[in-house]
Structure 1
Amino acid sequence: MRLLMLTRYGPLGASSRLRSLQYVPALRAAGIETDVSSLLGDDYVRDLYTGRIAPAAVAAAYLRRWRRLRDAGRYDLVWIEKEAWPWLPGWLERALLDRGTRLVFDYDDALFHRYDTHRSRWVRAVLGSKIDGLMRRADLVTAGNDYLAAHARAAGCRHVARLPTVVDLTRYPLPSPRAPDGRTVVVGWIGSPSTAGYLRAVAEPLASLQAAGRIRCVAIGARPDQVEGTPFDAVPWHESTEADQLRQCDIGIMPLPDGPWERGKCGYKLIQYMACGLPVVASPVGINVELVADGERGWLADTDTQWSEAISRLVADPSLRRRMGQAGRALVEHHYSLQVQAGRLIELLRGAARAESVA
């Protein structure tokens, strides 16, 4: 079986690294000949996070993608992360893909809302139904949560499978128990400059706890200017050290507003925290509710008072932190790990290539 994997980014792009690229070794080991082609490389991602975009480089990337799409018919299956060409009409993609080409589209966020809720009526008119059209054309849609899967089914895709975003347990070994030693409890967040703005929502309750000497707050992956005036210290993110950085924390947090875009998120931060044996506190939005299971693996918090109370309870009770952290780790080991999901993905792809129904 020959698979063409068309990712949006290279390894530095979290969605591509986690949803596609980390599966490549397992696919090849299973005998699936996998060719990978990224639309935008790591240089683009670096420029994106610093606000510098080179239009000429993007145009060249789109041209390279056009050439790869012309060759799609040579493969048994083509896997496309989200869409082949962002911000271009879907009919261009569909026109280049031969009707005999078997397609898998993968979604880990509510990309359709980028178009169908755009403030420009021209964008809504031209691109508002683009993703729905691609989903209908797909032989299989893999979706990171139920919200995305339901949208794919409503769009007319016959074969939809929920495929969570997962961690590789070899990078997240079983954490050692942390004995209480009287030190300040570290509250951690991990993300990127594109999501650091969500921290503002919890800055006030966490600042009060930090001022009282009860916690220290770190934001892994945020720029220093983004957390200025908040209780968070910005910590540089590196793929090779992210798990070690998280293991230095005691509590993991994921604040989110309740909006259409946020409901499409797949909770990867929470999965990372749980893989490190951390209890979590998260906004009750989308998949967060399912992952946290309020009171089992952490707490759900909406208001400032709820955030303050949830963090305070965990700070005051090391045994509760340990118990919730162990429950989270067990969830990751049994469901949200590469080791569990790789074999399932292989069968999904083989079924799509054979035009079999998948689930």
Structure 2
Amino acid sequence: MSAPGVAYTRSGATSPSSNFRILQYIPDLETDMEARPLSSEALYQRHGKASTKVQKLFWYILYYLQIQFRITKYLIKDCISKPGIVIIQRALSPKLVFPWNKVLMRRVYTTTKFLIWDFDDNLVNSGEITDFERQLLVKNADTIVTTGEALKATIPAMARKRVIIMPTTDGQLRNIEPESMIANRRNTYETTVELLWLATASSLPYLQDIVPHLEESGRQLQAKLNKQLVLHVVCNKPLKYKPNNFTLDNVIWTSEIACKLTLQSHIGIMPLRDTEFCRGKGGFKILQYMSAALPSIASAVGINVKYIRDSKDGYLIGPAYTCSWEQAILRLSSDWQYYRTVSKAARQRWNEQYSYHNNLHQWNEILSQQFNSKIE
């Protein structure tokens, strides 16, 4: 017997968006949901790590063909079994749609009792979603879930009443007491300041932008506090740079490594550029850092200014704020008691407003109340 609902995601747990928007909640949902990753985790990783043009082309073709044929298989299954709930995470078919899949998508999207579209980036700006699928989802989705007002504004006005705002958050550390995480960082705080940057390769240019600030921060930390600066880059590709005043630790992303370094590091960073695409980003990394009682330093762009209270649970860097990257790093590195206060405030804010349990409750509300009202 098939599950009452199915959730289409780009890949499995190795896809941060798939995992932290949808998959992590499935075991705890009150409604039985079946996950349907459209690419294997191995192929998703190889596609993401490809560096040369030949490698990118080869792995992209395999990656894309697998997605298209899995779409065909699963949609035919849905036409037969008719699940009551279908969740589409980001876009079912990125960039383009095979003709026969258009027929199947139109059939499933228009006949499903309760259709949910969840997305956490500006998919139109990035070109990830086709006009065909976007129009189909805008017209037929009973509920549209996204991360903030900037992305809500990308939905046509007539459909915005169906939009629900839900941040992307990370539940891996929810059962660890913040005091124990903060106390663990005390062991290295007196000699080393460890920065953490968690992201995918598409965001590497934003990190490259602040390298001069990190060089100066490393120089000041050494001169004023006799501390070493370490930057952990956890990504599917490395930051190609040879630093002079800090240590660069390039680590290929895995969930386990990301969790380990989040617990180990002292400060999380999230640089961005002030572009339309960046203003639409969901700020997930900030909430991931907050969940670990980790103070954040982030560009004052988009939703970042909502998540961080400047100097209270992190720092915002921008024309309207007083600190530079160097000053923010130095302030969080100079006084353990202040650092501890900011760290506790970050986790408390996460607990109160952006926690795993808050999102789980919201998903249960969406799936139970609205679905039940449609089928009764």
Q: TM-score range by the shorter chain?
A: 0.7 to 0.9
Q: Identify the residue that residue 199 of structure 1 maps to in structure 2.
A: 207
The verdict on how the C-alpha distance between 1:353 and 1:225 changes in structure 2, with shifts beyond 3 A counting, is: closer
Verify the 8 A CA contact 1:284 1:300 in the aligned structure 2: yes
The verdict on how the C-alpha distance between 1:129 and 1:155 changes in structure 2, with shifts beyond 3 A counting, is: farther
Q: Identify the residue that residue 226 of structure 1 maps to in structure 2.
A: 239
Per-residue CA deviation, residues 276-313 of structure 1 (Å, 9 max, x unaligned), is 21221100011110111222211111379711121122
Moved more, 17-26 or 40-49: 40-49
Q: Identify the residue that residue 99 of structure 1 maps to in structure 2.
A: 110
TM-fit CA distance, 1:166 = 1.4
Residues 1:161 and 2:164 aligned together: yes
Q: Identify the residue that residue 325 of structure 1 maps to in structure 2.
A: 343
Any idea what SS the aligned residue of 1:330 has? helix
The verdict on how the C-alpha distance between 1:91 and 1:258 changes in structure 2, with shifts beyond 3 A counting, is: farther
Specify every segment of 5 or more residues in structure 2 that has no aligned partner in the other structure, as ranges.
Answer: none
RMSD, aligned CA = 2.7
TM-fit CA distance, 1:50 = 2.0
Residues 1:6 and 2:8 aligned together: yes
Structure 1 residues 174-253: aligned runs within 5 Å: 174-175=177-178, 176=180, 177-178=182-183, 179=186, 182-212=190-220, 213=222, 214-222=227-235, 225-230=238-243, 231=246, 232-253=248-269
Verify the 8 A CA contact 1:107 1:144 in the aligned structure 2: yes
Any idea what SS the aligned residue of 1:233 has? strand
Question: Among residues 298, 301, 311, which one is paired with 1:295 in the alignment?
Answer: 311
Any idea what SS the aligned residue of 1:199 has? helix
Per-residue CA deviation, residues 208-250 of structure 1 (Å, 9 max, x unaligned), is 2213424413233236752323443213332124222112211
Q: Identify the residue that residue 120 of structure 1 maps to in structure 2.
A: none
Any idea what SS the aligned residue of 1:188 has? strand
Number of equivalent positions? 344
Any idea what SS the aligned residue of 1:327 has? helix
Verify the 8 A CA contact 1:4 1:78 in the aligned structure 2: yes
Residues 1:115 and 2:127 aligned together: yes
TM-fit CA distance, 1:270 = 1.0
Q: Identify the residue that residue 281 of structure 1 maps to in structure 2.
A: 297
Per-residue CA deviation, residues 250-294 of structure 1 (Å, 9 max, x unaligned), is 111110001111122111111121122122110001111011122
Any idea what SS the aligned residue of 1:134 has? helix
Structure 1 residues 40-79: aligned runs within 5 Å: 40-51=39-50, 52=55, 53-73=59-79, 74-79=82-87
Per-residue CA deviation, residues 39-98 of structure 1 (Å, 9 max, x unaligned), is 112122211222141524532431221221233351111001122111125965652325
Q: Identify the residue that residue 87 of structure 1 maps to in structure 2.
A: 95
Which residue identity lines up with residue 146 of structure 2 in the other structure?
Answer: A
TM-score relative to the length of structure 2: 0.83
**1: distance between equivalents of 2:62 and 2:344?**
49
**1: distance between equivalents of 2:125 and 2:158?**
13
Structure 1 runs of 4+ aligned residues shifted over 4 Å read 89-94, 169-172
Any idea what SS the aligned residue of 1:99 has? helix
Which residue identity lines up with residue 156 of structure 1 in the other structure?
Answer: A
Specify every segment of 5 or more residues in structure 1 that has no aligned partner in the other structure, as ranges.
Answer: 117-122
Verify the 8 A CA contact 2:109 2:136 in the aligned structure 1: no
**1: distance between equivalents of 2:41 and 2:313?**
35
Verify the 8 A CA contact 1:136 1:155 in the aligned structure 2: no
Which residue identity lines up with residue 360 of structure 2 in the other structure?
Answer: A
Verify the 8 A CA contact 1:112 1:129 in the aligned structure 2: no
More helix by share: 2
In percent, how many aligned pairs have the same letter? 25
Residues 1:256 and 2:243 aligned together: no
TM-score relative to the length of structure 1: 0.86
